[in-house]
Chains A and B, each alone.
Chain A
Amino acid sequence: MGRRAIVPLKYKMVIPLVLLLLAVLIYPMGSSLLVSFQDYRLTALRERHFVGFDNYLRIPRDARFWNAMSNTLIFVSSAVFLEFVFGFGLALLLHRRVRMRNFFRSVLLTPMFITPVAVGLIFRFMLNSEFGIIPYLLRSLGIEVDFFATSPLALFSIVFIDVWQWTPFMMLLLLAGLESLPREPFEAARVDGASAWFTFRKVTFPLMRPVIVVAVIIRMLDAFKVFEYLYVITRGGPGNSTESIMYYIYRVGFRFFRMGEAAAMSYVLALIILLLVFLEFQLLRMARST
């Protein structure tokens, strides 16, 4: 009788999780990595073949990829910065003991609960130069604005919509951070006669730094996926001025069915995002050490 190897219980316990991860994460990622090295067109699957790094080598010469990447970086940095500023401001206000605090919290969270496609459609018509309420009100003040007709403004109009929808999310995370801060440093600052601004700069902000980094990373990762607003409002126009990287990859992969190229672009995008996240953590570490 042969001896059976005994698998310790702790390993047995993680087997379901490992299998689940293999099925939903590792397999699709491995499979798409394989696709990125092939001439893989959904309409000509019989002709698919290995092309090595061709799909990756095409990317540096693809002006539309870099235009979309640049639009996305402008979008992400502007939107996340504004959401952080407004979100932190609102979190500080709601952290105080104001009347109807819970009511304000609930109202301010409302935009988050609307699906982004609906938000896009709402703003598409609210900002429409002929029928929209906002251009109408601005016109009555003598201001003529066409939010989606010109090149830089169209992208910033999309930023504005994102800020409207996702500032509450930033506010929620930062408010949770503020409420979990220890009271002692604030009491010490008050006893020492520190002003509100000084307390914010020297106590609140440094203590909040880890929460801020996490909040910014979460929002940044989400903002990189901007798609719905562009899909229903501008389709990337005028010209390419609002084309985001996700929208471009979607077009290559799911409108033109060139999955090999789309997969390679997705991996390059993933690497760029990983690099940005790494840089943010490095900045946090440097800030801590100083």
Chain B
Amino acid sequence: MKRLGLFVSFLAVMSLAALGAKTLTIIMEEVPDTDVIRQLIPEFEAQNPDLKIVIDAMPYEAMRDKILTEFLAPVSSYDIVIVDNPWTDEFAAGGFLVDLTDRVMALEGYDFEDFAKPIREIGIYEGRIFGLPFYNYALAMIVRQDVFDEAGIPIPTNIADYVKVCRQLTNKEEGFYGAAMQAKRGYKIFEEGKNYMYALGADVFDDEGNIVINSHLAKAALHLYIANLEAAAPKGAINWGFDEAFRLMAAGKAATMITYNWMLPSLNNPEKTGELAGKFAFYEVPGGKAVLGAWYWSIPRNAADIEASWRFISWVTSKAVEKKRVILGGAPVRMSVLKDPKVWEKGYGKQYYLTLVKILEDAEPLVRGLHAEEIIETVGLEMNNAAAGIKTVDKALDDAAKAIAEIIGK
């Protein structure tokens, strides 16, 4: 009877706490990693009965302007925002994000240095931390291992070989393609094509900040990209985004795809690819250096309760929670987790995480800086112009260089 009384009292206290709990609203993208966070939330709420987490998930395209609108309000209706890597500098420079540096440094056992170097650096603006890494979307080369094995073709390690192999494996009459490509103008084509640029040592800016997108190496890379698109991808790929390319791959109609590393478990999931499950493997993108994408947890400067928001993001990015998140299928950002045998065992196996370590060691975002979003869109437009035959490669990249100079000057 006494026990029952205690239990009822406990329930009453919990209910009262729940009734009075403060709600933290987070804007997030509707992606698998958000589902993983949903699974972790009950644990946080149990540890912090005064806080309740609400996720407002939406498509990527809706996020940028929605986040900025909230930044401009007297009080943001989002207590926490997740920020894509091209936006971090712009939002930090605009004074919209809380500087987390002192909090991070004061937190015992947090170990900020444990985040993979290229990833953690994106969250830092002018030496101060404005975003804590959430998950990575570095690019990798996913292949149909059975197709390569049957053909006796080794996995290509440089971009010229990759283009050659894709052509070799293509049989358009039978509807089988060497590469599932996504050459839609803007972000998509740039995200894919910049791996070709990295492979040849080209970039948008050099180390001194000069615009070098129209260098001969960048032009050679774009020529290779277009050659692959024309010879080894469906014609419609000029207007394809991720959905179409993924469908082609999942339908067993393509031998390779340069895409987000965490698509591998999806492709090897029998519910999605049926008999093809287990036949997909992933490697570093040919040439070694990959395009890096990553999302960050940040707190708006005008959030209602910055301390409460900090409580959540410091918890969700801690080593212990990161480990749980990755075991549940989240994309890792901490090196200790990537190298943890328990994670290998309960996750996708040692090989998967060690390949990812290699990818993350040599990965770089498309562009950084205050105008990253517009530069990405501009270069992506000009690359698509060249791929569609509207402009020559020379003209397209020269125009891209001019446009970037104008954007930076604005």
A2 touches B (CB below 8 Å): no
Residue A44 at the B interface, CB < 8 A? yes
Known: A128-B236, A237-B185, A238-B390. A43 touches B61 (CB 8 A): no
Cβ of A131 < 8 Å from any Cβ of B? yes
Contact B94 A237 (CB under 8 A): no
**Does A161 touch B at the CB level, under 8 Å?**
no
Q: Which residues of A have CB within 8 Å of B370?
A: 43
Known: A235-B185, A255-B377. A241 touches B239 (CB 8 A): no
Does A223 interact with chain B (Cβ within 8 Å)?
A: no
CB-defined contacts of A42 to chain B, threshold 8 Å: 68, 72
Partner of A238, one of B96, B238, B251, B253: B238
Known: A235-B185, A239-B384, A255-B65. Is A148-B239 also a contact (CB below 8 A)? yes
* Contact flag A238-B388 (CB < 8 Å), given A42-B72, A130-B248, A255-B64: yes
Shortest Cβ gap from A116 to chain B (Å):
15
Tell me if A278 counts as interface (CB < 8 A to partner B): no
Is B362 an interface residue when CB atoms closer than 8 A count as contact?
no
Are B239 and A238 neighbours in the complex by a CB distance under 8 Å? yes
Majority SS of interface residues in chain B?
helix
Q: Is the CB of B377 within 8 A of A149?
A: no
Q: CB of A234 within 8 A of chain B? A: yes
A239 to B68, CA, bound (A): 28
Q: Which residues of B contact A70 (CB under 8 A)?
A: none
Tell me the minimal C-beta distance from A260 to chain B in angstroms.
11
Q: Who on chain B is nearest to A63 by CB?
A: B399
* Cross-chain contact A129 with B236 (CB below 8 angstroms): yes
Residues on A with C-beta less than 8 A from B175 are 130
Which one of A128, A235, A241, A256 contacts B390 once the chains associate, using CB atoms below 8 Å? A241
Q: Are A254 and B184 in contact (CB under 8 A)?
A: no
B384 touches A238 (CB 8 A): yes
For the complex, give the distance between the alpha carbons of A234 and B373 in Å.
19
Would you list which residues of chain B between 46 and 102 have a CB under 8 Å from chain A? 61, 64-65, 68, 72, 90-91, 93-96
Q: Does A155 contact B (CB under 8 A)?
A: no
Which residues of B sit under 8 angstroms from A46, Cβ to Cβ? 95
Assembled-state Cα–Cα distance A65/B10 (Å): 65
* Chain A 245-270 interface 0/1 with B at a Cβ cutoff of 8 Å (1 = within): 00000010011111000000000000
Q: Return the chain B residue nearest A42 by Cβ.
A: B68
Whether B65 pairs with A254 at a CB distance below 8 angstroms is yes
B381 at the A interface (CB under 8 A): yes
Partner of B373, one of A148, A231, A255: A255
For residue B247, which residues in chain A have a CB less than 8 angstroms away from its CB?
A: 130-131
Whether B3 is near chain A, meaning CB under 8 Å from some CB there, is no
Cβ distance A9 to chain B, nearest Cβ, rounded Å: 40
Residue of B nearest to A39 (CB): B410
Measured between beta carbons, the chain B residues less than 8 angstroms from A257 are 68
Residues of B within 8 A of A179 (CB): none
**How long is the Cα–Cα vector from A236 to B384 in the complex, in angstroms?**
11
- B186 at the A/B interface (Cβ < 8 Å)? yes
Contact: A149 with B384, CB < 8 Å?
A: no
Contacts of B184 in A (CB 8 A): 234-235, 237
A239-B391 contact, Cβ under 8 Å, with A42-B68, A130-B253: yes
Within 8 A of A (CB), among B274-328: none
- Complex CA–CA separation, A202 to B384 (angstroms): 51
In B229-283, the 8 Å CB interface with A consists of 234-236, 238-239, 244, 247-248, 251, 253
Q: Which residues of B contact A43 (CB under 8 A)?
A: 68, 90-91, 93-94, 96, 370
Bound together, the chains give a CA A46 to CA B236 distance in angstroms of 45
Tell me, yes or no, whether B374 is within 8 Å of chain A by CB: yes
A61 → B minimal CB distance (Å): 11
In chain B, positions 362-410 with a C-beta closer than 8 Å to chain A are: 370, 373-374, 377, 381, 384-385, 387-388, 390-391, 410
A77 at interface, CB cutoff 8 A: no
Is the pair B244, A258 in contact by a Cβ cutoff of 8 Å? Answer: no
Check B377–A258 contact: CB distance below 8 A: no
Contact indicator A129/B185 (Cβ below 8 Å): no
Q: How far is the CA of A234 from the CA of B388 in the complex (A)?
A: 13
Q: How far is the CA of A258 from the CA of B374 in the complex (A)?
A: 11
Within 8 A of B (CB), among A218-242: 231, 233-241
Q: How far is the CA of A221 from the CA of B94 in the complex (A)?
A: 37
Query: With A and B bound together, what is the CA distance between A255 and B244 in angstroms?
Result: 24
Complex Cα spacing A251 to B91, Å: 18
Answer yes or no: A282 CB below 8 A from chain B CBs.
no
**Chain A nearest Cβ from B116, distance in angstroms:** 28
Chain B neighbourhood of A234, CB < 8 A: 184, 239
- A129 interface neighbour in B235, B373, B377, Cβ under 8 Å: B235
Smallest beta-carbon distance B113→chain A, Å: 30
Q: Which of A142-175 contact B (CB under 8 A)?
A: 146, 148-151, 154
Q: Are the C-beta atoms of B239 and A256 separated by less than 8 Å?
A: no
Per-residue contact bits, chain A 105-146, to B (CB 8 Å; 1 contact, 0 not): 000000000000000000000001111000000000000001
Q: List 23 A-B contacts (CB under 8 A).
A: A43-B68, A43-B94, A43-B96, A43-B370, A44-B94, A128-B244, A130-B244, A130-B247, A130-B248, A131-B247, A235-B185, A237-B185, A237-B238, A237-B381, A238-B185, A238-B239, A239-B381, A240-B381, A241-B390, A251-B377, A254-B64, A255-B65, A255-B373
Closest 6 pairs (CB-CB, A-B): A129-B236, A237-B185, A238-B388, A239-B390, A239-B385, A148-B239
